[in-house]
Amino acid sequence: MQLKKIKIGNLETPNNVFLAPLAGYTNAVFRSMCYGLGAGLTVTEMVSAKGLCYANEKTEDLLYVPADYGGIKACQLFGSDPQIMRRAAESCAVAPFDIVDINMGCPMPKIYNNGEGSALMNNLPLAEKIISSVKKSGKTVSVKFRIGLDAQHINVCEFARMCEGAGADMITVHGRTRDKIYAGEVDFDAVARAKNSVVIPVIANGGVFSKADAENLIEKTGADGVAVARGAMYSPWLFAEITGGEVPDKKGLILKQLEDTLALYGERFACVFMRKMIAFYLKGTKNSSCVRVKLFQAATTQEVKDILNSLDL
């Protein structure tokens, strides 16, 4: 695919291959690792605007950014109250971030049934108020959404034009309907129609697990860039492969992730999180099922490290 810089408001990314927000995964260490591997933009996992406004400590922890992070800083907020969303965007916790990405695509019932995430695709007037309110915070604003709620309610073009009119500087379109969650084929044509409906940058999301997938997504949608989600969970070095960078020693990369996660989040979190991540990284490798059993029996990060060191990656 053709690599290019993306202008988002007054900001400019080094390339057009982004790390999408992933709830439970895109913590500070993972974002820094993906940025180092070539991601042009990384976004925090989604953060509750209400949680920020009511100073929820766990919510604020999601927004930690390492002092040496060199890229554009972007956080994702979700909520359905325009004023709460603006207050969150203006909060001290969000102050270090250059971009506020508004989640209007999460399909999970807990979010959807609360009128947040993809539920907002069924309420354009409210979605418009949220975007314009967050824009008043002075932040550069992007919006991530889906092509519609289901096959009978695809409104991606109308929604894209609404986002642009409300002041969004960029949109990211996940090429599936809400009812598909993360399954099924990406609707390239729907994303292409959204791209042709607006002037602001359009990033395509969905189904990128290889360089060929990224190239195919760009070719068939005409989007300005791609956002890699679950593909990054399985192969964070995918960013290097797509951007033409050097793919590092994978074992060394994962060991560093473990050490950095331990240093920042502590033993318990690092052990549980890295067991999960290494299981993802092992998908498709020889004897991966047996190794996963050992991994999930590991009670300490040292045990996790010992298992990792025994592998031929």
Q: DSSP assignment of 93-132, as one string? A: TTTT-SEEEEEE----HHHHTTT-GGGGGG-HHHHHHHHH
| Cβ density class 204-228: b for 16+ within 10 Å, e for less | bbbbbbebebbebbbebbebbbbbb
pLDDT confidence of residue 267: 97
In 3D, which of 238, 99, 225 has the Cα closest to residue 172? 225
Amino acid at 22: L
pLDDT confidence of residue 130: 98
Longest CA–CA separation in the chain, Å: 56
| Antiparallel, parallel or unpaired: β 11-13 and 6-8 | antiparallel
Query: 253 and 32 in contact (C-beta within 8 Å)?
Result: no
- CA angle, 68 as apex, 63 and 74 as ends, to 5°? 35
Residues in the chain: 313
pLDDT confidence of residue 169: 98
Distance CA 279, CA 301 (A): 14
* Contacts of residue 216, Cβ cutoff 8 Å, sequence gap at least 6: none
Query: 69 and 35 in contact (C-beta within 8 Å)?
Result: yes
Taking the chain (313 residues) in runs of 10, the rounded mean pLDDT of each run is 95 98 95 97 96 84 88 96 97 95 96 96 98 97 97 96 98 96 92 98 97 97 97 97 94 96 96 96 86 93 94 81
Distance CA 127, CA 119 (A): 10
pLDDT confidence of residue 182: 87
Distance CA 203, CA 87 (A): 27
pLDDT confidence of residue 284: 80
Q: Which residues are catalytic?
A: 106
pLDDT confidence of residue 59: 83
pLDDT confidence of residue 67: 85
Q: Give the global pTM.
A: 0.95
pLDDT confidence of residue 299: 96
Distance CA 53, CA 77 (A): 12
